[in-house]
């Protein structure tokens, strides 16, 4: 088995696939990349059993064969090469020899047959989506998903496909983000929960990509195919909570304000808040928004006044400043709208501008009880 490939081209593909490999694997074979050579087509795969990703690379070769090559060692050596052709030759003594312009390097390999096979999806449904739309949907929601092992369904992003639109939802019970696209739809209704790790990989690869992604899914797995890459992952098992039920429908109190001004103010005032509750207080009357925080234990307090557009009754409401900051950070609009009903009901944060045609973002932040 022998092939020749460009060093930088190989490194770029392997760095993407390397994101799948865990730092500590239960099976030693998972510390390797699987190289499956078929003449001029080299398919490289990486897996952690839950997620498997593979890319097809063009190489110069006439041979065939499969081997598993140590991932960390191979990445470390590839990072040191300037752009040049590298020749890989599998030797009889169970090593693969890499020849560069300046030297030769031998790595011990494992048998390719030991590498776990990727799941074949039986009878899947499918939807096609532009790469950048998928990357944006992940980026807008994933930060709101939880990390609670006791509630695994909340640790992923809920994909809800219908014939009218595609909806992506994430929540950790303190904050919730619903991202909807009305400009794309599926051929049939489907729902599944995607884990975070494969989503972060997809987000990194697909940002700005105009190529189509074919999403295939059944009850247990999902498969994403684009250009020369395929990612297959196991879905999170369970029923997603009824998120629509927690979004308040009647919100007569409506605040509109510059996002940057609001974000900067919340950040500054939050420095003076209690370090366990991170509580800040919003007091709204007329066109004035008063943001304050205090840490009674240390006699620290801060207060700022901002001008805003407001319709509704005078009110006071408390929020966790970290959740509010995260949400405001994740929007890229000039203006935001915060809709509220009562101090003990969730506030709804939406961008007032900066959205593409067919794009719809709703963020929900749970209030905290105000003391005193």
CATH for 125-244, among 3.10.150.10, 3.40.50.880, 3.40.50.150, 3.40.190.10?
3.10.150.10
Residue 149 has a pLDDT of 85
pLDDT at position 150: 87
pLDDT tier, 29 (very low <50, low <70, confident <90, very high otherwise): very high
Q: Are 98 and 86 in contact (CB under 8 A)?
A: yes
In the chain, ranges of CATH 3.10.150.10 domains = 2-114, 125-244, 249-368
CB-neighbour burial class of residue 200 (10 A; exposed 0-12, middle 13-18, buried 19+): middle
What is 249-368's CATH number, 3.10.450.50, 3.10.150.10, 3.30.70.20, 2.60.40.1080? Answer: 3.10.150.10
The 10s digit of each residue's pLDDT in 185-222 is 998 999 999 999 999 999 999 999 999 999 999 999 99
As a CATH number, domain 2-114 is 3.10.150.10
pLDDT per residue as tens digits for the range 94-104: 999 999 999 99
* Residue 17 tokens, joined: 């696939």
pLDDT at 348 over 90: yes
Confidence (pLDDT) at 369: 87
Give the DSSP per-residue string, 263-302: HHHHHHHHTTS-TTT-EEEEEEETTEEEEEEEEGGGTEEE
Residue 317, pLDDT > 80, answer yes
Please tell me the pTM assigned to this model: 0.93
Rounded to whole angstroms, how far apart are CA atoms 169 and 199?
Answer: 13
**CA angle 77-205-158, nearest 5°?**
130
Q: What is the pLDDT of residue 281?
A: 97
From CA 290, how far away is CA 318, in angstroms rounded?
A: 12
Q: Is the pLDDT of residue 372 over 70?
A: no
Share of the chain above pLDDT 70, in %: 99
Q: Are 157 and 146 contacting, i.e. CB atoms less than 8 angstroms apart?
A: no
Lowest mean pLDDT among 35-39, 122-126, 166-170: 122-126
């Amino acid at each position: 088995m022998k092939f020749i490939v460009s060093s930088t081209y190989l490194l770029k593909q392997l760095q993407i696939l390397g994101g799948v490999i865990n730092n500590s694997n239960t099976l030693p074979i998972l510390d390797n990349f699987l190289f499956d050579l078929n003449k001029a087509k080299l398919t490289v795969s990486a897996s952690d059993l839950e997620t498997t990703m593979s890319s097809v690379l063009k190489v110069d070769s006439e041979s065939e064969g499969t081997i598993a090559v140590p991932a960390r060692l191979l990445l470390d050596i590839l990072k040191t090469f300037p752009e040049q052709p590298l020749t890989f030759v599998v030797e009889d003594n169970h090593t693969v020899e890499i020849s560069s312009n300046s030297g030769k390097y031998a790595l011990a390999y494992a048998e390719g047959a030991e590498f776990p096979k990727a799941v074949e999806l039986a009878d899947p449904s499918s939807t096609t989506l532009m790469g950048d739309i998928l990357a944006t949907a992940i980026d807008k929601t994933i930060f709101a998903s939880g990390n609670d092992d006791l509630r695994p369904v909340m640790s992923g992003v809920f994909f809800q496909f219908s014939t009218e639109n595609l909806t992506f939802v994430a929540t950790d019970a303190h904050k919730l983000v619903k991202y909807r696209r009305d400009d794309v739809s599926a051929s049939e209704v489907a729902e599944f929960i995607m884990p975070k790790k494969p989503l972060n990989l997809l987000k990194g690869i697909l940002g700005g990509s105009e190529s189509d992604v074919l999403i295939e899914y059944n009850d247990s797995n999902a498969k994403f195919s684009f250009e020369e890459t395929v990612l297959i992952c196991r879905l999170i098992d369970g029923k997603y909570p009824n998120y629509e039920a927690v979004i308040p429908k009647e919100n007569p109190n409506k605040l509109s304000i510059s996002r940057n001004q609001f974000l900067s103010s919340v950040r500054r005032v939050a420095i003076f808040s209690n370090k366990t509750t991170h509580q800040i207080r919003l007091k709204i009357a007329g066109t004035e928004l008063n943001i304050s925080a205090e840490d009674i234990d240390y006699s620290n307090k801060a207060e700022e006044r901002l001008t805003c557009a407001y319709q509704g009754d005078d009110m006071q409401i408390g929020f966790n400043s970290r959740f509010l900051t995260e949400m405001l950070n994740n929007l890229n609009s000039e203006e935001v709208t915060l809709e509220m009903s009562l101090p003990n009901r969730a506030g709804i944060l939406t961008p007032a501008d900066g959205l593409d045609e067919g794009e719809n973002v709703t963020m929900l932040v749970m209030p905290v009880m105000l003391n005193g």
